[in-house]
A and B are shown apart, each in its own frame.
Chain A
Amino acid sequence: MSSTPQTQHPKLRDPDWTRRWLGFCVFVVLLWPILVATEFKPWILVEPGNLKISGQFLSSFWPLETNAEFLTMVAQGTWRTVAMATVGVVLAMLVACPMALLSCRVLSISALCGRMGWLPFGVRLLVRWVLIVLRSVPELVWALVFVRVVGLGPTAGVLAIALTYGGMLGKVYGEILESSDAHATQNLLRNGGSRMQAFFYALLPSSSSELASYTVYRWECAIRSSVILGFVGAGGLGQQLDNSMKMFNGGEVATILLVFMALVAITERISNWLRSSLS
């Protein structure tokens, strides 16, 4: 039995006390200008005037709008939203696949022996920069741009999804290909296989399920995006929601929101199920 080292408690004190308080003070000092910049005044939500408007709007949510004509319109809008996301993601894959192949280091022949040549290195760098620019402009901004060129309608929305998601897919496809086991690919390349052969017989089979799974996940995100794109005139559920909101028609807004939540839940289910059966 060892003797108990300490029977009387010295004053119990947090050893990290100073650091915690300092951290807290820095936090408050940083937070203050942020609160000012965002005009953070939660109390305006409960000012009598605003409260009355919000209350009226919220209470008009019930009863839901359920006449047949409106529901048909919502159904059409839902399908358009799904279709826009699907077409957008398919086009994004068309953008992403060649870019990912170009940017991917595993398929470089000059990198097999030491350093990559400077020309292939330059091309890869350039492709990566293009992908960064494509995905760092939000899809809504692309949509605003394309609405000016092709006019209102789904074309602008589809193109916007294709470009932003093309950038995202291209980057992640490249990463997946690079992180896959390079052994088989390099074996083929070293033994004189062409790059196409190396890709189709070694690289693609070893990473196809991961690629497919990420694409499905992005499709799920694209459905959310395509609702948002409706707000700038690309059609679908988003546009209907925008219209109903502008007319302060609470019943319609509530119906569309519920349909939208159901749509998101269903696509999440499908996507989870697909991904779990892929892995």
Chain B
Amino acid sequence: MSHKAFWFALAFLVLVVASFASLDLQWGQFLSLEAARSMGRFFAEFVPPDLSPVFVSKVAMAAWETLAMSALGTLLAALGGLLLALPKHRFLASAVLNALRSIPELVWAALLLISAGLGPFAGTMALGLHTTGVLGRLFAEAIENAPQGPADALRAQGVGRVQVFFYATWPEVLPQLMSYTLYRWENNIRAAAVLGVVGAGGLGQLLSFHMGLFQMNKTATVLGAMVILVALVDTLSYLWRRALKS
């Protein structure tokens, strides 16, 4: 074991040293007084955040769009994931799931912009596709690991497969599926907030727009809205999951 641990440590060190050596990191520039000053100036421009009613209502609309994107994306993914988790022969389904999962939301969004155009629809679809991959795999595992007792009891009575699924397996795995879905929703609200950077709507689009124009007060408001929205969804999902447990 210690032999193995030694090789782990060595491989880790080699990877870290090679990584540091090969990237041209500009620490000098970053740690210099000049950089500190420009960083200070940059953050100083954030205050005061733009809290004029017109802008706040615009941000609120974008926040709602982001929330809707994350919710619908997660819902679509839960449905898609369930469909892909059900087939008995896993090979094809799991290949599709792996492909969907390994491409991040932002890349999906960038690809989808070509066929769906700018806007929240592309973002929703992107979230849905990536999350389908993630949830499908988790769902398949949950369904596979469900206790077989009730299902066997029904099968012994000669009940058909569809009914066995809906009356025995489904009630058993539902709490677990819900909690996976809610957990992904927490992830997706974070992802949805930034998808706009490539043009897929919501808070991210507002953020990259105002940051591009160096309107830092407005940027600060958008950032604040993001943090609040993420905290809100985390709380909601936490309460929901707690309610499911009891």
Q: Which residues of A contact B (CB under 8 A)?
A: 31, 33-35, 37-41, 44-45, 50-51, 53-54, 57, 79-80, 82-84, 86-87, 90, 133, 136-138, 140-141, 144-145, 148-151, 153-155, 158-159, 224, 227-228, 231-232, 238, 241-242, 245, 248, 253, 257, 260-261, 264-265, 274, 277
- Min CB distance, B127 to chain A, in Å? 10
- Please indicate the chain A residues that have their CB under 8 angstroms from the CB of B39 in the complex: 149
- A87: contacting residue among B16, B30, B191, CB under 8 A: B16
Give bound CA distance, A37 to B69, whole Å. Answer: 8
Please tell me which stretch of B49-57, B114-122, B147-155, B238-246 contacts chain A, meaning at least 4 of its Cβ atoms lie within 8 angstroms of it: B114-122
Q: A87-B23, A136-B190, A154-B24 are in contact. List 18 more A-B contacts (CB 8 A).
A: A33-B68, A34-B68, A37-B65, A45-B116, A50-B116, A51-B115, A53-B114, A87-B19, A149-B39, A150-B35, A153-B24, A154-B23, A155-B29, A158-B25, A231-B198, A241-B107, A241-B110, A242-B110
User: Are B106 and A231 in contact, with the CB atoms below 8 A?
Assistant: yes
User: Are B223 and A137 in contact, with the CB atoms below 8 A?
Assistant: yes
Interface string of B68-104 (1 = CB under 8 A from A): 1101100100000000000000000000001100111
Interface size on B, residues (CB 8 A): 60
CB nearest to A56 among chain B residues: B114
- A245: contacting residue among B25, B68, B111, B123, CB under 8 A: B111
User: Are A37 and B107 in contact, with the CB atoms below 8 A?
Assistant: no
User: Are A136 and B103 in contact, with the CB atoms below 8 A?
Assistant: no
- Please indicate the chain A residues that have their CB under 8 angstroms from the CB of B123 in the complex: 38
Within 8 A of A (CB), among B31-65: 35, 38-39, 42, 64-65
Interface residue? B164 (CB, 8 A)? no
Give bound CA distance, A34 to B26, whole Å. Answer: 45
Instruction: List 24 A–B pairs whose Cβ atoms lie within 8 Å, in order of A's numbering.
Output: A31-B72, A31-B75, A34-B71, A35-B72, A38-B120, A38-B201, A44-B117, A50-B115, A53-B114, A80-B23, A83-B23, A84-B19, A84-B23, A87-B23, A90-B19, A136-B227, A137-B226, A138-B190, A138-B226, A145-B42, A148-B42, A149-B38, A231-B198, A232-B197
Which of B26, B107, B223 is most buried by chain A, counting CB atoms within 10 A of its CB?
Answer: B107
User: Are B115 and A53 in contact, with the CB atoms below 8 A?
Assistant: yes
Whether A140 touches B194, Cβ cut-off 8 Å, given contacts A50-B115, A242-B110, is yes
User: Are B25 and A38 in contact, with the CB atoms below 8 A?
Assistant: no
- Please indicate the chain B residues that have their CB under 8 angstroms from the CB of A37 in the complex: 64-65, 68-69, 120
User: Are B22 and A83 in contact, with the CB atoms below 8 A?
Assistant: yes
Give bound CA distance, A38 to B73, whole Å. Answer: 10
Whether A38 touches B16, Cβ cut-off 8 Å, given contacts A44-B116, A154-B24, is no
- A274: contacting residue among B8, B42, B72, B111, CB under 8 A: B8
* Top 3 A-B pairs, shortest CB-CB distance: A83-B19, A54-B115, A37-B68
- Please indicate the chain A residues that have their CB under 8 angstroms from the CB of B208 in the complex: 144
CB nearest to B109 among chain A residues: A231
- Min CB distance, B169 to chain A, in Å? 17
Whether A87 touches B230, Cβ cut-off 8 Å, given contacts A37-B68, A138-B193, is no
- A277: contacting residue among B4, B99, B191, CB under 8 A: B4
Give bound CA distance, A83 to B25, whole Å. Answer: 11
Give bound CA distance, A180 to B26, whole Å. Answer: 39
- Please indicate the chain A residues that have their CB under 8 angstroms from the CB of B106 in the complex: 140, 228, 231
Within 8 A of A (CB), among B118-143: 119-121, 123-124
Interface residue? B6 (CB, 8 A)? no
User: Are A150 and B42 in contact, with the CB atoms below 8 A?
Assistant: no
CB nearest to A238 among chain B residues: B107
- B30: contacting residue among A144, A159, A265, CB under 8 A: A159
Whether A228 touches B107, Cβ cut-off 8 Å, given contacts A37-B120, A138-B194, is yes
Interface residue? B211 (CB, 8 A)? yes
- Please indicate the chain B residues that have their CB under 8 angstroms from the CB of A141 in the complex: 194, 207, 223, 226
Give bound CA distance, A50 to B16, whole Å. Answer: 46
CB nearest to A79 among chain B residues: B22
- Please indicate the chain B residues that have their CB under 8 angstroms from the CB of A148 in the complex: 42, 211
- Min CB distance, A251 to chain B, in Å? 15
User: Are A265 and B25 in contact, with the CB atoms below 8 A?
Assistant: no
- Min CB distance, A20 to chain B, in Å? 12
User: Are B194 and A155 in contact, with the CB atoms below 8 A?
Assistant: no
Whether A150 touches B120, Cβ cut-off 8 Å, given contacts A53-B114, A144-B208, A231-B106, is no
- Please indicate the chain A residues that have their CB under 8 angstroms from the CB of B103 in the complex: 257, 260-261
- Min CB distance, B125 to chain A, in Å? 8
Interface residue? B162 (CB, 8 A)? no
- B197: contacting residue among A79, A140, A224, CB under 8 A: A140
